[in-house]
């Protein structure tokens, strides 16, 4: 159900040091460094993200992603959310910066959270 989620950190350097150490003993390691965020997991897939809060207060809205069974379900998620008045953040598309088959869509939920649906098998055929 949950593909990945993230938290904000008020002290990004200290958070990276902390999670590098405590997750390593659980056999999780840093998988990705994307500017102000690092992702932890295994086998190249980050499941847990820590992001530099910057000027946002810690405790601000979160980011989490739901696993989608197909690219069409990513599209259906996006359109269902918009029909309910959700703020669109990113239309369904391939996000090469994550990996070549990362097909996702992002919306803001009623509480301000950044909610994503993601399919790791590429975009729609045709």
pLDDT at residue 112 in the model: 86
Which stretches within the chain are classed as H helix?
A: 12-24, 71-83
- pLDDT for the residue numbered 80: 94
Q: Could you say which DSSP state residue 111 is in? A: T
Q: What is the pLDDT of residues 56-78, one digit of tens each?
A: 888 778 899 999 999 999 999 99
Q: What pLDDT is attached to residue 50?
A: 92
- CA 49 – CA 46 distance, rounded (Å): 7
Edge-to-edge strand list for the sheet holding 29-34 = 29-34, 37-42, 45-52, 2-9, 63-67, 114-119, 103-108, 87-94
Domains in the chain: boundaries: 7-52, 63-119
CATH topology of 7-52 equal to that of 63-119? yes
Q: What is the pLDDT of residues 79-118, one digit of tens each?
A: 999 999 999 999 999 999 999 999 999 999 877 889 999 9
* Topology of domain 7-52, CATH: 2,3-Dihydroxybiphenyl 1,2-Dioxygenase; domain 1 (3.10.180)
pLDDT in the model for residue 57: 82
Q: Which fold has domain 63-119?
A: 2,3-Dihydroxybiphenyl 1,2-Dioxygenase; domain 1 (3.10.180)
Name the pTM for this structure. Answer: 0.76
Backbone dihedral region of 18: left (phi > 0), alpha (psi from -120 to 50 degrees) or beta? Answer: alpha
Query: How far is C-alpha 34 from the geometric centre of its chain's CA atoms?
Result: 11
């Amino acid at each position: 159900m949950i593909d990945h989620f993230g938290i904000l950190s008020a002290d990004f350097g200290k958070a990276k040091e902390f999670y590098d150490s405590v997750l390593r003993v659980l056999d999780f390691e840093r998988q990705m460094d994307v500017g102000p965020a690092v992702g932890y997991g295994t086998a190249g897939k980050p499941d847990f993200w820590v992001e530099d809060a910057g000027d946002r207060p810690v405790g601000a809205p979160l980011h989490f992603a739901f696993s989608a069974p197909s690219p069409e379900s990513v599209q259906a998620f996006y359109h269902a959310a918009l029909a309910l008045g959700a703020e669109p953040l990113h239309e369904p598309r391939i996000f090469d910066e994550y990996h070549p088959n990362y097909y996702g869509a992002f919306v803001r939920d009623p509480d301000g959270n950044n909610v994503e649906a993601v399919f790791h098998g590429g975009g729609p055929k045709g």
